[in-house]
Structure 1
């Protein structure tokens, strides 16, 4: 069994650094090159996380014989984030690790991993048994991939194309849960920081699940104020849910004549950026403004104050995507849409509602 100490020796860093990198601690000061070297070395040495070691002690899965026989199955992962972008977003690292771990259990080879640094060469998908599409992709890209690959599985994204399997969390429902809770806790002027793609028109600009749910919740109460929505824009959706965007958009909300008393961030990274903007404004969290976000990445609990966030099961989403893929390879000829539950984790960045 490979140890953290052996990985540290191979890379030339301390065991503590390796542990913090593999646990996605974003507070660690380490170069991206070194961080990537640690992750790649761990993967090359087949380092098993505590969870994987625990699973190894369990009885083997009762996998259908067809999947055992089809050891030549090749799976492609088409990711909406470039490798360097994924490294700074532990949530999507978790989704990918869930896919890879489940593929190993099924003895399925991951043939290639595509990323948006270069256009996807559709010819390279020829002969691929199935493709797991991670994150937000335009409909035209999905349709093009479907022409050359027999099975597409959507992970953490529902393209509103019912013919394809998908697994995700209901971010709209999760947003409503957050807003209901903030209202119960006494917050009345709630802001939102999120993002959209430059290619989106005005209708689609507000069509992202969290954004749409935020608007609908306020409109139902007659309290919607457009100035309390701050949306970053970029060429790709994944590029605008970053620390920098959260910082800039939170600054714009705090500059209002009447700033919000709570900010909902589209993910934890944006919330970290919002923390900086609030602190620079000389304001206190949560006394002056509360912050709530999505994902519950490992660093969330170590912020000051610890971040209240909606836990999204990223690794499980990856695992279920592979389960759906295996069902397709074993003959299922109808689509499945799987919605996994979320869980609100209340910490020090917001007042906890009285009924929770």
Structure 2
């Protein structure tokens, strides 16, 4: 069955098509009487706006793009969930794609979204906003949150890593180790920097025990197994994200050791999975879903302002969440 058109709505409301268009698109001015008649007619006729035609009138697509380095795993799922919740509340559509950490692929995805979105949310841990071919308002997620970048939302990874290491030390760990993210990842670099700075305070002059991971459970498992093979086996491990921490806990158990009695573990992000590992995982809470919501709200502000430089950036300070994986005694600081 053919749906109603804007012309049908105008006829039903006894107004011009131009007046009906102004009401349905929210542009221009009409009297309250005309607005009420058009909306009532649209409801009676079950009129559904044609978004393609509407975008020609408003110069808006009512769609935003979200570009992530990957779409696998709970972290990215939570980011998408947060953005989607905020977008739906504003009647916005969402296009999601992954760049797989490749700058050329990210550029290609952004180009493919050109003309289809009003703005872009981009998490590109290997690039800054200036490296991307963007012609619409852009909000970057992650990267270097020094507080100076406009229209960006980031995490204080360095401070979070320092908190994690100090927590392990306060719980009696002295042979500290770190399972890092990929070397080229900006967030991973800051978490490593925080680990290195604080570990040297706990164990001055000691060699840094570090294994690089890839932010997956398998990567964490491999890295932890390698650390356990060392003569100076660590008794406390700061893992750069919760996914790898879950793999690390499994590797410790497979080696016949106990968490946290033999090796204490702390992760980063506080994804939903962290509460359900065995034992439950201590971590640094970022509020991933909320981060996605905040990023979308920031993008809407940039779109409405028409100038991303007018929107101030946000830096999130991770909060320590203590669970059983790091409790070696009574100190839980």
TM value normalised by structure 2: 0.72
Q: What are the superposed Cα offsets for residues 259-315 of structure 1, whole Å, 9 maximum, x if unpaired?
A: 111111111111111112111211111111111111222222222222111122011
SS for the counterpart of 2:300 is helix
> Is 1:209 aligned to 2:190, yes or no?
yes
Greater Cα shift, 333-342 or 260-269:
333-342
Are the counterparts in 2 of residues 80 and 116 from structure 1 also a CA contact under 8 Å? Answer: yes
Unpaired runs of at least 5, structure 1: 1-68, 233-239
Which residue of 2 is the match for residue 229 of structure 1?
A: 210
Which residue of 2 is the match for residue 152 of structure 1?
A: 138
1:226/1:173 CA distance change after superposition, 3 Å: same
CA distance in 1, matches of 2:111, 2:277: 45
Are the counterparts in 2 of residues 190 and 262 from structure 1 also a CA contact under 8 Å? Answer: yes
Which residue of 1 is the match for residue 48 of structure 2?
A: none
CA distance in 2, matches of 1:137, 1:193: 19
> Is 1:345 aligned to 2:321, yes or no?
yes
Which residue of 2 is the match for residue 187 of structure 1?
A: 173
Which residue of 1 is the match for residue 243 of structure 2?
A: 269
Corresponding pairs, count: 267
1:133/1:283 CA distance change after superposition, 3 Å: same
Are the counterparts in 2 of residues 311 and 344 from structure 1 also a CA contact under 8 Å? Answer: yes
Which residue of 1 is the match for residue 41 of structure 2?
A: none
> Is 1:143 aligned to 2:162, yes or no?
no
SS for the counterpart of 1:230 is strand
Which residue of 2 is the match for residue 129 of structure 1?
A: 118
TM value normalised by structure 1: 0.68
Are the counterparts in 2 of residues 91 and 297 from structure 1 also a CA contact under 8 Å? Answer: yes
Q: How does 1:1-356 map to 2 (within 5 A)?
A: 72-81=61-70, 83=71, 86=72, 89-110=73-94, 112-116=95-99, 119=105, 120-127=108-115, 128-139=117-128, 142-145=129-132, 147-158=133-144, 162=148, 164-197=150-183, 200=184, 208-220=189-201, 223=204, 225-232=206-213, 240-331=214-305, 333-351=309-327, 354=331, 356=333
1:129/1:105 CA distance change after superposition, 3 Å: same
Which residue of 1 is the match for residue 37 of structure 2?
A: none
- CA shift, 1:211, in A, is 0.4
1:186/1:300 CA distance change after superposition, 3 Å: same
Are the counterparts in 1 of residues 270 and 283 from structure 2 also a CA contact under 8 Å? Answer: yes
Q: What is the alpha-carbon root mean square deviation over aligned residues?
A: 2.7
Q: What are the superposed Cα offsets for residues 54-87 of structure 1, whole Å, 9 maximum, x if unpaired?
A: xxxxxxxxxxxxxxx8863331111110x4xx2x
- CA shift, 1:217, in A, is 1.5
Are the counterparts in 2 of residues 156 and 317 from structure 1 also a CA contact under 8 Å? Answer: no
Are the counterparts in 2 of residues 243 and 269 from structure 1 also a CA contact under 8 Å? Answer: yes
Are the counterparts in 2 of residues 71 and 107 from structure 1 also a CA contact under 8 Å? Answer: no
CA distance in 2, matches of 1:123, 1:230: 36
